[in-house]
Amino acid sequence: MNRLKQKIFDVEFDNPIFSASGTFGYGRDYEDFIPVNEIGAVVTKGTSLTEWKGNASPRVYETASGMLNSIGLQNPGIDHFLSKDLPWLVNNKAKVILNVAGHTIDEYQSVVEKCNSYKGKIHALEINISCPNVTEGGMAFGTNPEVVYELLSNLKRISSIPLIAKLSPNVTDVVEIAKAAESAGVDSLSLINTLSGIAIDIHKKKPVLGNIFGGLSGPAIKPVALKMVYQVSQATNLPIIGIGGIMNSTDAIEFFLAGASAVQVGTAVFINPYVHSEIVKGVDDYLDKHGYSSITEIIGLAWKE
Amino acid sequence: MSKKILFDAPVLSNEKICDDVYLLKFKHADFANIVLPGQFVQVSTNFENQTFLRRPISIFDVDKDKSIVMLLYKVVGKGTHYFSSLQKDDSINILGPLGNSFTLEYKKPLIIGGGIGVAPLKYLVREYNREGVSPTLSLGFANIDQSCMASLFTELDCDINICTDEKSSYFHGNSCQLAEVILDEENYDSIYACGPNIMLKNVPITNLPTFISLEEYMACGVGACLGCAVKTIDNNYVHVCKDGPIFDAKGVILNE
């Protein structure tokens, strides 16, 4: 039997190891290494109503145990996704979580409306209210609990597909934001997005990134992410998808113990394109060795009595 | 495009060619068979000295008979410093082959290289030789020490022209200035160039097909993260790892 199988917001996932938005394109870039149906779910690049071109170069820069990026949500737009990428993902039997971005509430709503008729092919919409690299939208929607509530309750009212709110760590109190999202009626929370940061070129004496600020990802942010999952999973009744610096199965298991029902593995795939498969196997081995028959038995053990 | 593979390979040698520049040879039969001129690899830095991401390195040359692949690289930071410490029988972890490749459809190409920008050019010359074509090279270096890189090309059938920024016995100037002189002497049917962007901005403007190989900060190397963006003349972005590294010189706007 499959110890890793579980139902989250009424969708049955073969395993709880997902890709992370912005690190896996629409699934095809790593097809030489992992078939998309072997990943718990493919979480797509942030996708908006129309094509977004993204930010000026340089867009990525290595930091100690991590990297900064300021891609700026470059994507071909929702119509391109629905006509070109979704059929390929469906054909390859992927579970699909579409990450949704917008400049305005109207833009988010239009994307959600276009997706409604693809229920069952798109298994969930991950609402990006946490991208630090765009001036309008993204994180601007994710740092004020009233704005979070307004956007998400509007989207929940019109969506036929389960909604996940992707939360930003760049806030005073992530629990307050999580509760606002829960009261708006979303089905799940994913956290964390990148931490806002900067790098400076000491020769040019200017910021390295074209966009000046970027989002920090990689193992450098794991303790921060783990803490927020530990807090939010206790403060809400929603299933939590843990994200942030997961490099191997030990990291992933920490997130399950902290209260995550699933995890997303992002930056690690740039270094190891087999990382998702290796984590699936590592988590399964851990459950077997410790006598658990289901992943659900270890969720939140770090704080449960 | 051939399938990408991830593999460990034994280092055969890692020789210092001149100041800061090393030639690393590794052995891998499958990879040597599929890699094309102009392509690159992402080499693991093994998390040495707080490095994290892989480093994109050009394929310098390939000996298909002996399954030997050669990487020419300059030590510029922590990642390449780690590469320079590798010794015979150490293992390196490689992701590749990545990116597009040079076209081999011309009969009289002029190939321009600046400094470590010569790195993807030897395999190009070698494959042109297999087509019976002898390219002309304009290779520019900062000084006499760096011009040692040119000696790596002498085993191939090509006309090597060298220049240095510092005064020396060679042509005094950069590889694009030397290329202008060469273009005046004979008729060429194509131009290939690789080097820093400051050099590529000065590649002679002609009506010849002109291909430039670009570098950019890179994370994934496979087209997933969209990090290595270069602006096009129609105000879109293309990506060095997947759309490149080789572009039509007239189609892209080089970053400063």
Q: How far is CA A193 from CA A139, A184, A215, B79, B181, in A?
A: 9, 20, 8, 27, 54
User: Which residues fall within 8 angstroms of residue B28, CB to CB, at 6 or more apart?
Assistant: B7, B9, B67, B69, B94
CA B212 to CA B205: how far, in whole Å?
12
Domain assignment present for residue A190? The answer is yes
A25, closest residue in chain B (CA to CA):
B224
B87 and B120 part of one domain: no
- Do residues B117 and B205 both lie within one domain? yes
Omega of the bond prior to A58 within 30 degrees of 0, cis? Answer: yes
Domain count, chain B: 2
**Same domain flag for B116 and B186:** yes
Kindly state whether residues B115 and B203 are assigned to the same domain: yes
Residues B184, B131 share a domain = yes
Residue A32: inside a domain, yes or no? yes
Q: Is B224 part of any domain?
A: no
CATH number at residue B74: 2.40.30.10
- Indicate the residue type of A292: Y
Alpha-carbon span A112 to A130, nearest angstrom: 17
* C-alpha span between A90 and A119 (Å, rounded): 12
Catalytic residue among A131, A178, A184, A195: A131
Q: Is the pTM of this model over 0.90?
A: yes
Count CB neighbours of B33 within 10 A: 11
The neighbour count for residue A30, using CB atoms within 10 Å, is 25
Spatial contact of A163 and A241, defined as CB atoms under 8 Å apart: no
Q: How confident is the model at residue B255 (pLDDT cuts 50, 70, 90)?
A: confident
Do B75 and B13 share a domain, yes or no? yes
Domain assignment present for B229 = no
**A66 is a domain residue:** no
Query: Smallest Cβ distance to A57: which of B54, B221, B230?
Result: B230
Rounded Cα distance, A106 and A110, in Å: 6
Kindly state whether residue B11 falls inside one of the protein's structural domains.
Answer: yes
Kindly state whether residues B18 and B55 are assigned to the same domain: yes
For B50, nearest residue in chain A (alpha carbons): A64
Are residues B92 and B113 located together in one domain of the fold? no
**A89 within domain boundaries:** yes
Of B3, B52, B236, the CB nearest to A218: B52
Structure tokens given for B172: 């005094």
What is the residue range of A231's domain? 6-54+73-201+216-298
Which among B95, B219, B225 has the least Cβ separation from residue A273?
B95
Closest CA to B175 of B201, B209, B145: B201
Q: Which residues contact B234 (CB under 8 A, 6 or more apart)?
A: none
- Residue A67 domain-assigned (yes or no): no
d(CA B192, CA B37): 12
A165 close to A238: Cβ distance less than 8 angstroms: no
In a domain, B222, yes or no: no
Domain, as residue range, for B119: 109-213
Say yes or no for a CB contact (<8 Å) between B226 and A274.
no
Which CATH number fits the domain that encloses residue B176?
A: 3.40.50.80
Token couple for A123: 């298994």
One domain for residues B67 and B153: no
- Is A32 an 8 Å CB contact of chain B? yes
Contacts of A19 (CB under 8 A, 6+ apart): A27, A39, A41, A42, A43, A264, A265, A266, A269, A276
Which B residues, 216 through 235, put their C-beta within 8 Å of a C-beta on chain A? Answer: 216-231, 235
Q: Are residues B132 and B208 in the same domain?
A: yes
| Tens of each residue's pLDDT in chain A, 305 residues | 799 999 999 999 999 999 999 999 999 999 999 999 999 999 999 999 999 999 999 999 999 999 999 999 999 999 999 999 999 999 999 999 999 999 999 999 999 999 999 999 999 999 999 877 676 667 778 899 999 999 999 999 999 999 999 999 999 999 999 999 999 999 999 999 999 999 999 999 999 999 999 999 999 999 999 999 999 999 999 999 999 999 999 999 999 999 999 999 999 999 999 999 999 999 999 999 999 999 999 999 999 98
Same domain? B162 vs B115: yes
- Whether B34 is in a domain gets the answer yes
Q: Is A201 on the interface with B (CB under 8 A)?
A: no
User: How far A42 CA sits from the closest chain B CA (Å)?
Assistant: 13
Number of domains in chain A: 1
Residues B129 and B203 in one domain: yes
Position B49 confidence tier, pLDDT thresholds 50, 70, 90: confident
A65 found inside a domain: no
Is A131 an annotated catalytic residue? yes
Q: Is B234 within the bounds of a domain?
A: no
**Residue A113 within a domain:** yes
- Any domain includes B239: no
- Say if the ipTM goes beyond 0.90: yes
Distance CA B18, CA A264 (A): 45
User: How far A51 CA sits from the closest chain B CA (Å)?
Assistant: 11
Interface of A with B in 10-29 (CB under 8 A): 22-25, 29
CATH number for the domain harbouring residue A48: 3.20.20.70
In this complex, which of B95, B225, B236 lies closest to A69 when CB atoms are compared? B225
In a domain, B223, yes or no: no
